[in-house]
Amino acid sequence: MSVKIDKGRLGGGLDLTPMIDVVFLLMIFFLVASKLDEADRSIDVVLPQASAAKPLTSQPREFVINIDRTGNYFAGAKPVGLDELGQLLRQTAADNPERQTVIVRADEETAHKFVVGAMDACVKAGIDDYQVQSAGQD
């Protein structure tokens, strides 16, 4: 007398038990995490106000150097010499270390040596992020 085993049903379906276990574990994790977040915010704390503080995430303003056709330098609208421009760039780099950008805008008739002088002042001030704009790149 031999015993016959029906093997047709053993490999026929997918076992969903591990996937259901993972889903329940994820639900428990997110429920506990949301409860902890609510507990942190439920404490009644009056935060101090600062009137002179600036937000840490603010992007520094670009420093714009304009050069007219005769080679005069302008920081904003103020005419400056090359030495004064270097001092302004050093101060700007100290105010915004590793984040300051400089844009050099020169008239199309400007001699190349004046643009190179502005680029050299940027490098001496420790500003590596500078760009030269030509006409039509505004």
User: Is the model's pLDDT at 51 over the cut of 80?
Assistant: no
| Domain housing 73 | 63-133
Do 72 and 33 fall within a single domain?
Answer: no
Tokens of 108: 């199309």
Taking the C-alpha atoms of residue 138 and residue 59, their distance in angstroms, rounded to an integer, is 19
pLDDT digits (tens, 9 = 90+) for 5-22: 666 555 556 788 899 999
* Amino acid of residue 86: G
Do 40 and 82 fall within a single domain?
Answer: no
In the prediction, which pLDDT does 138 show? 54
Flag whether 138 is in a domain: no
pLDDT band of 57, cuts 50, 70, 90: low
Q: Are 73 and 66 in contact (CB under 8 A)?
A: yes
Q: What pTM does this model have? A: 0.55
Taking the C-alpha atoms of residue 67 and residue 110, their distance in angstroms, rounded to an integer, is 7
In the prediction, which pLDDT does 59 show? 62
pLDDT digits (tens, 9 = 90+) for 65-123: 999 889 899 987 889 999 999 999 999 888 887 778 898 988 888 888 999 999 999 89
Do 86 and 122 fall within a single domain?
Answer: yes
DSSP 12: S
- Helices within 3-134 (DSSP H only): 17-41, 82-95, 112-124
Taking the C-alpha atoms of residue 45 and residue 41, their distance in angstroms, rounded to an integer, is 9
Taking the C-alpha atoms of residue 20 and residue 26, their distance in angstroms, rounded to an integer, is 10
**How many domains would you assign to the chain?**
2
Do 30 and 68 fall within a single domain?
Answer: no
Taking the C-alpha atoms of residue 11 and residue 104, their distance in angstroms, rounded to an integer, is 73
| CATH number, domain with residue 85 | 3.30.420.270
Taking the C-alpha atoms of residue 76 and residue 65, their distance in angstroms, rounded to an integer, is 7
Do 73 and 103 fall within a single domain?
Answer: yes
